[in-house]
Amino acid sequence: MEKKELLYEGKAKKVYKTEDPDVLIVSYKDDATAFNGLKKGTISGKGAINNRMTNFIFRKLEEKGIPTHLIQELNDRETAVKKVEILPLEVIVRNYSAGSFAKKMGMEEGIKFSRPTLEFSYKNDDLGDPFINSYYALALDLATQEEIDAVTEYAFLVNDVLKEYFDGLNIDLIDFKIEFGRYHGQVILADEISPDTCRLWDKDTRQKLDKDRFRRDLGGTEDAYEEVFSRLGIQ
């Protein structure tokens, strides 16, 4: 598999064409951003961690019947993936109060919900990825009802699988953001699952093991990413 033309460069990844029009190569960067790009920096080594962690978790999700864009991990930072048309929806599942939810609802962080929440944001940097619901998504032709139903079902299933898995690593899955794409008429999981896109807290210490350490200038960001990676036991 050989990289060809650079198709797209985002905040955390570069995407390249290959000789196969149905296959892309994703290259993970160490660049870090927060607050829709207003804060920028570098988290040394996170590109490799996020790439390998995403692929490791995607394989586990596929074992549970959740289709993903993963084809093959090429090296520490690069992976061949199916070329999808990304649905312009950020899909967020929350198990505990944290981040923007806690702020909007006037809650302290770390309160466990009686059931998980699901929310959508319109994936649009110029608008600041505004919160929307399924009716907005339909009105704006961002997705069909069938796609929204599939996304909803998969999102809660991903949550079930990840909660159980991280529980075994002595980590609470506070919340996470995922994205989906269209692939030959099917909705499949795309993008990544990593400390960039999940809030992960140590069960005992409540230490944050995710991008919030960068967002909030808590320090120890690289150590937190490496701690999650080490607990995964990826060879």
pLDDT reading at 235 higher than 90:
no
| pLDDT score at 180 | 98
**pLDDT(36) > 80:** no
As a whole number of angstroms, the distance between CA 75 and CA 36 comes to 29
Is 6-82 a domain of CATH 3.30.200.20? yes
Indicate the SS3 state at residue 32: strand
What pLDDT is attached to residue 108? 97
- Report, at the CATH architecture level, how domain 85-220 is classified: 2-Layer Sandwich (3.30)
Please say whether the beta carbons of 22 and 11 come within 8 A.
Answer: no
Query: Which phi-psi region, left, alpha or beta, contains residue 35 (left: φ > 0; alpha: ψ -120 to 50)?
Result: left
User: What number is the average pLDDT over the span 95-102?
Assistant: 96
> Taking a C-beta distance cutoff of 8 angstroms, is the pair 200, 173 a contact?
yes
Residues in the chain: 235
Rounded mean pLDDT of 133-138? 98
According to the model, what pLDDT value does residue 130 have?
Answer: 96
At 36, phi and psi to the nearest 5?
A: 55, 40
User: pLDDT, tens digit, for every residue of 103-126?
Assistant: 999 999 999 999 999 999 999 989
Percent of the chain predicted with pLDDT > 70: 99
Q: How far, in Å, CA of 226 to CA of 235, rounded?
A: 14
Residue 204: predicted pLDDT: 97
Q: Where are the domains of the chain?
A: 6-82, 85-220
Q: Does residue 5 carry a pLDDT above 80?
A: yes
Residue with tokens 């998969």: 154
Specify the long-range contacts of residues 129-136, CB closer than 8 Å, at least 24 apart: 129/36, 129/90
